[in-house]
Structure 1
């Protein structure tokens, strides 16, 4: 099941996950200063009346790819092609983080991050899942909760939010943990109950699964 694949990732991240800090890809504050050249068409904070040019709340992946496509000529727009030529990779990363962090006027073109409810909703779901799992006798102390910040980063970044995951790659982080299928199943039931209690729509749950599930192969049986 798709939900089970998602939990496999969450369990792996939540059990004694070791982390190593890496440099953030972008800085929203720096992006704010650089966005002055974008405000004429896209608005001061990326929120304009026309959704087709509204940048606020779009997924980081979408924003980053769009800028790169304009810079390399894969997409054509006379103004965007000209402006993007002068942007460095850091400039594009900073702009991406800035606009991804802006709360959109509507959710029509918003990232999964915003459709899930933003950072507060993601953090609450992680905290509640860890709380329930720590008390679950089937997991027998395997869930410590120590790595909750990394799990929150992971979900924020995967859903297109203005976050950068600073943990190790999945295979390295889970080497030697010997996570079992029984543990996957136990946490799966716990997380699903939390998501249902939070009334997360089916579309958003499935979309989140599709983003995270590919990491399962690097976690299972390590």
Structure 2
């Protein structure tokens, strides 16, 4: 499948990789809302919390199976990861959810994530969004919110 790429794609989605809460680590202080406000209507465009939950279910299933990144999930509880990511994307997109997982730097500090892993996960997220029928413009709006987090996620430079 050939999925179109945006300039944001390669800088966006490992935020979704492995929030610490999904790895049975102690809860951290809640992450404040994104410094950049959510684009108006993004939460609704993603299908609100039920749509985001479906997207994260699809995404996590794909990520666990992907040969490029699946090994990063070996100690991860899939259901806990789905729930954590749903809350995180819900909050970032302007929804009423409260993400209570770790900040991205702490969550990914010891994971040896390379730019290649990061890019692979972005591709997996794009494939999940495409499969869920999320329009390309809405995909880009979400990826633009996630993009600033890449500096805290890639740990192997």
TM-score (norm 2): 0.75
Larger-gyration structure (1/2): 1
User: What are the residue-to-residue correspondences of 1:154-169 with 2, within 5 Å?
Assistant: 154-169=88-103
Report what 1:6 is aligned to: 12
SS at 2:89's partner residue?
Answer: helix
1:148 Cα deviation from its structure 2 partner: 2.1
Report what 1:121 is aligned to: 51
The answer to whether the 8 A contact 2:53-2:86 is kept is yes
Structure 1: which 4+ aligned runs deviate by more than 3 Å?
A: 12-19
Change (3 A) 1:140 1:134: closer
Report what 2:3 is aligned to: none
TM-score (norm 1): 0.55
After superposition, the CA RMSD in angstroms is 2.8
Change (3 A) 1:186 1:19: farther
The answer to whether the 8 A contact 1:19-1:173 is kept is no
Report what 1:28 is aligned to: none
Which one scores higher on RCO, CA 8 angstroms, separation ≥ 6?
2
User: What are the residue-to-residue correspondences of 1:1-222 with 2, within 5 Å?
Assistant: 1-13=7-19, 16=23, 18=25, 20=27, 22=29, 111-143=41-73, 144=76, 145=78, 146-221=80-155
1:17 Cα deviation from its structure 2 partner: 7.7
Change (3 A) 1:17 1:11: farther
The answer to whether the 8 A contact 1:12-1:219 is kept is no
- Unpaired segments of 5 or more residues in structure 1? 26-60, 63-108
| Number of residue-to-residue matches in the alignment | 141
Which sits farther off after the overlay, 194-203 or 120-129? Answer: 194-203
